[in-house]
Structure 1
Amino acid sequence: MTRRHTAGTLWLAAAHPSPTAAWNQWATTPTRFAVLPAGARWDAIRIGCSLAVKALDELDAIERAGAPVLWGLREGSARAYVLVPPGTARAWHEPPTRAIGAGGWVAMPRPGTDQPDPGFRWEPAPDGSGRLADPETLRSALRRVREGER
């Protein structure tokens, strides 16, 4: 299998204690996902089912800013993983989202490839710059959506 060494893929793989293990997982597991540790290069905010769908417009502003977002759009379990700066998870208290930081792991497809599970995609994919979502922008977007539900 040929590895596409895009800057974003190299950046993600480098989050793993053994980047070669990430490449091997992307190449050999049936799902083509690598399980990567949060807390060093990024933390992730998991936004669940209904909130992820309702927040699409708000998150579009974050996407346009280039912050990587992993979308899992399986029917009945839509979720988005927004990559934010390391350390964000320690102070994140925005129900019903879940922060994944140091000690947590996230299964991620390799950016820029067709996945066996088309329900997962990067939009936008990491570009290798290390650009991440601003936690306060994300927090504000989520609060606006929740306030609109009242």
Structure 2
Amino acid sequence: MTGAKTAVEWLASVAPDPESCRWEWERNPLGVALLPAGRAWDVLILPGELGGLTLDVLTRVLDRPGPVLVDFGDHRVGFFVPPGTAARWLGTGIRAAGAGTWIVVPHPGRSAHGVRWLVTPDGSGTLTDPALLELAMHEAAAGPADGD
């Protein structure tokens, strides 16, 4: 590994007690921990179908978007974006988790019950640009162009 933190270290760094967070991931049978948003990242949560289509658009224009979570049943998709995004986000049907909110986060690299990674964090702190995410959502919502 170069100088980059591992995905576990990066995610756990936002916890009030990072060591306890790592312990929870190791011993919790669900393989999840509750982490505060708004420190290293916010999360924009899209309805499942729109989220999946948006991720498809993003992966066509980016080598690797920031981390992306999906809940059990694929009902909601969460995109990790820079901190502060939630406070400024305006969008009907889009939930925003920022400062003062907590989200369930699975261990990166292990399967968890109920929530899983679609794009696992790489530990470098890569996040999805909110402007690019918004453009991808618009393209996804518009659907395929005529003739496709």
Q: TM-score range by the shorter chain?
A: 0.7 to 0.9
1:62 CA drift (Å): 6.8
Alignment of 1:25-104 (within 5 A): 25-61=24-60, 64-74=63-73, 77-104=74-101
SS at match of 1:112: coil
Q: Cα deviation per residue 1:107-149 (whole Å; 9 max; x = unaligned)? A: 010101133x2x6332321111111000000011112222349
2:134 to 130, 139, 142: 139
Change (3 A) 1:64 1:123: farther
The answer to whether residue 5 in structure 2 is matched with residue 10 in structure 1 is no
Match of 1:111 in 2: 108
Count of residues in Structure 1 that have an aligned counterpart in Structure 2:
140
1:57 CA drift (Å): 1.6
1:90 CA drift (Å): 0.8
- TM-score, length basis structure 2: 0.83
What code does the residue aligned with 1:140 have? L
Paired with 1:44 and 1:138, the residues of 2 have a C-alpha distance of 12
What's the % identity of the aligned pairs? 37
1:9 CA drift (Å): 0.8
Match of 1:3 in 2: none
What code does the residue aligned with 1:145 have? A
Change (3 A) 1:47 1:18: same
Aligned-CA RMSD value: 2.1
- TM-score, length basis structure 1: 0.82
1:80 CA drift (Å): 1.3
Which structure 1 segments of 5+ residues have no match? 1-5
